[in-house]
Amino acid sequence: MQKVVAVLGGGIGGLSACHHLSKCPNVSKIVLLEKSGRCGGWLSTIRRDDGAVFEQGPRGVRPAGAVGRNTLNLVSELGLESEILPVTKDHVASKNRFLYVKGQLHKMPSGPGGVIRTIPPFSRPIIQSVLKEMLIRKGTEEDESVHAFVSRRLGSELADVVIDSLCRGVFAGDSRQLSVRSCFPPLYEAERSRGSIVLGMLMGSGGPKVVPSDLAKRASKESWTQWSLRRGMQAFPEALEDMLKRRERVEHHHHAKVTSLNMNELASVLPPAAQPLSEQLRSIASVNVAVVNLEYEGFILPVTGFGHLVPSSEDPGLLGVVYDSVPFPQHNRSGGLTTRLTVMMGGAWFEQTFGHPDSVTKQTLLDRATQAVTSHLGVNSQPVWSCVALHKNCIPQYHLGHWKRLEKMRQYISNHNLPLTLAGASYDGVSVNDVIFSGRTAAEGLIGKT
């Protein structure tokens, strides 16, 4: 039977779903409804006339794992290989990530040397916590906060500093509220199946199989840790949309105000009979993040690496600073040496730091960002260019019990034969890779594997 499918929202998840649907002969028409004037959602790049590129959303994608290979396969199908900017394992941006603790930058421990010695800000070698972890009894809870899980298994110091910061650097969220089961499924599964995170990591686990393209094989052979594109991440949805435009069965509608991938809006268009589903959708929270891109003249950093994260105990509203020009110097303006930084602020602490997002001024956000660059990195010069963006509700938060909410929603959809499939960052992973994979899974759920 021929199907007509509407895809709501042209973020990278919706585009990925369209792409897979468009390969299926049983789908006679695909209607993509995007509320804004462009597709891509949070993949948003500023391209200046002088060649400089600044990311307002994701800036790097990980090539590892099945979902990473799946994305690279798509990049390859789109013919974007020559546009790829890989960062390899031995690059300084892969080796050096910093934490800003008690007013100082500390390199995050990596490699054997980093775990067997006591390295500030830690009070003992990390190897001690790692070895002890294998002896800790399995938890019995169906779900636990990321902070509670890591405190129980690895100790409160790693939970307070490393895990707290990691949750800020991925979810802009609070590790005390986020669910380990939904935010870091491999950690939760490792404890359940092997009794230990360390053993689970050493022994590996299953997961979806994705046959690698030549590009994905190259990424593995050359040990890439992340990649971007010459014209920035936005080039990815642009290429995907261009490819879809060439397919006859795909209809595009920009400025099409129908519904949204934003939970509240999707919930509001569901029929009253679907109220239980609407309520579950509404209960998925999301946070606001201020993204401040800064450009400085010359090389102004006291250290070099990917960037630094700030634990919530140090400064709740300041999440971290990415040193963009280190991994991707190709995005600097042509001719002349510059440093490009991105300061990320707010997240789960937005309101307590800045008040209501509608009343904070761009100048306040810019001042806060440049002050952080001065105090954290000792930079006294002023940026020669800046751009402030406030992304409202941009990162969904998988709070405790998220897995149960998903199960109830999917059960409800299935019990009521609703012609609806959920895909995107609100459900099974927020990374670009996860979202692209969720679009593929949603399409395959409707039409079978392509």
Ligand X SMILES: Cc1cc2nc3c(=O)[nH]c(=O)nc-3n(C[C@H](O)[C@H](O)[C@H](O)COP(=O)(O)OP(=O)(O)OC[C@H]3O[C@@H](n4cnc5c(N)ncnc54)[C@H](O)[C@@H]3O)c2cc1C
Q: Check binding of 319 to ligand LM7OVKF4 (CB under 6 A).
A: yes
Pick the closer one to ligand X by CB: 34 or 295. Answer: 34
- Ranges assigned E (strand) in 23-132: 27-33, 45-47, 53-55, 84-88, 97-101, 104-107
Q: Does 34 bind ligand X (CB under 6 A)?
A: yes
CB contact set of 187 (below 8 Å; sequence gap of 6+)? 149, 180, 197, 200
* 169 is a contact residue toward ligand LM7OVKF4 (CB under 6 A): yes
Given a contact cutoff of 8 angstroms between Cβ atoms, the answer to whether 376 and 308 are in contact is: yes
Asked if 10 is part of the footprint of ligand X (rule: CB under 6 A), the reply reads yes
Q: Residue 240 in contact with residue 76, Cβ under 8 Å?
A: no
- E strands, 48-200, are 53-55, 84-88, 97-101, 104-107
Element (H, E) at 293: strand 285-297
> Contact letters (x/-) for ligand LM7OVKF4, 419-448, by CB under 6 A?
-----------xx-----------------
DSSP letter at 145? Answer: B
- The yes or no reply on residue 169 touching ligand X (CB under 6 A) is no
Pick the closer one to ligand LM7OVKF4 by CB: 139 or 185.
185
**Site for ligand X, residues 377 to 396, rule: CB under 6 A:** 391, 394-395
Considering beta carbons, is residue 57 or 212 the nearer one to ligand X? Answer: 57
Binding flag, residue 19, ligand LM7OVKF4 (CB under 6 A): no
Which partner, ligand X, ligand LM7OVKF4, none, binds residue 41 by CB below 5 to 8 Å per kind?
ligand X
Confirm or reject binding of residue 46 to ligand X (CB under 6 A).
Answer: no
Segment interacting with ligand X (CB under 6 A) among 84-92, 103-111, 271-279, 432-440: 432-440
- Euclidean distance between CA atoms 402 and 422, whole angstroms: 14
Is residue 13 involved in binding ligand X (CB under 6 A)? Answer: yes
Q: What angle do CA 172, 151, 111 make, to 5 degrees?
A: 75
Describe the strand order of the beta sheet including 27-33 as a list of residue ranges. 3-8, 27-33, 250-253
Choose the one of ligand LM7OVKF4, ligand X, none that binds residue 290, judging by a C-beta under 5 to 8 angstroms depending on kind. none
Mark 58-77 with x for binding to ligand LM7OVKF4 (rule: CB under 6 A) and - for no binding: ----x---------------
Rounded to a whole number of angstroms, the minimum distance from the CB of residue 35 to ligand X is 3
Least Cα distance to 286 among 262, 309, 304 occurs for: 262
Per CB under 6 A, contacts with ligand LM7OVKF4 among 337-366 are 344
Figure out which of the listed residues 52, 101, 243, 322 binds ligand LM7OVKF4, where binding follows CB under 6 A: 322
- Cβ distance to ligand LM7OVKF4 smaller for residue 308 or 340: 308
Considering CB distances under 5 to 8 angstroms, the limit depending on partner class, which of ligand X, ligand LM7OVKF4, none binds residue 147? none
Copy the structure tokens of residue 157: 């110091």
Residue 13 or 320: the one with the smaller Cβ distance to ligand LM7OVKF4 is 320
Task: Please state, in angstroms and rounded to a whole number, the distance separating the CA atoms of residues 242 and 95.
Answer: 36
- Report how many residues bind ligand LM7OVKF4 under the rule CB under 6 A: 19
- Under rule CB under 6 A, residue 57 binds ligand X: yes
Largest CA-CA distance found in the chain, in angstroms, rounded: 66
Task: Return the residues of window 378-407 that contact ligand LM7OVKF4 according to CB under 6 A.
Answer: 395
In the Cβ-directed half-sphere of 8, how many Cα atoms lie within 13 Å?
17
Residue of the chain from 294, 309, 400, 423 that contacts ligand LM7OVKF4 (CB under 6 A): 309
Round to whole Å and give the CA distance between 289 and 291. 6
Q: How far is the CB of 288 from ligand LM7OVKF4 (least distance, A)?
A: 11
Q: Which of 22, 45, 60, 100 binds ligand X (CB under 6 A)?
A: 60
Report d(CA 265, CA 419) in Å as an integer. 18
Q: Which two tokens stand for residue 392?
A: 């409202």
The CB-side HSE value for 376 (13 A sphere, CA atoms) comes to: 28
What's the angle, vertex CA 232, arms to CA 441 and CA 73, rounded to 5? Answer: 35
> Length of the chain in residues, anyone?
450
Collapsed DSSP state (helix, strand, coil) of residue 250 = strand
- Could you tell me how many residues of this chain bind ligand X (CB under 6 A)? 39
Q: Which of residues 89-128 bind ligand X (CB under 6 A)?
A: none
Q: How far is CA 350 from CA 56, 384, 391, 394, in A?
A: 17, 26, 11, 12
Question: Which of ligand LM7OVKF4, ligand X, none sits in contact with 309, Cβ below 5 to 8 A by type?
Answer: ligand LM7OVKF4
In the complex, least distance from residue 91 CB atom to ligand X, rounded to whole angstroms: 16
Instruction: Give the whole-angstrom CA distance, residue 154 versus residue 418.
Output: 43
> Residues near 394 by Cβ (< 8 Å), separated by ≥ 6?
42, 57, 172, 286, 287, 288, 289
- Does residue 232 interact with ligand LM7OVKF4 by CB under 6 A? no
Q: Find tokens 């199960």 and name the residue.
A: 407
Which residues contact ligand LM7OVKF4 (rule: CB under 6 A)?
62, 97, 166, 168-170, 172, 306-309, 319-322, 344, 395, 430-431
Which residues contact ligand X (rule: CB under 6 A)?
8-14, 33-36, 41-43, 57-61, 256-262, 265, 289, 291, 391, 394-395, 424-425, 430-433, 435
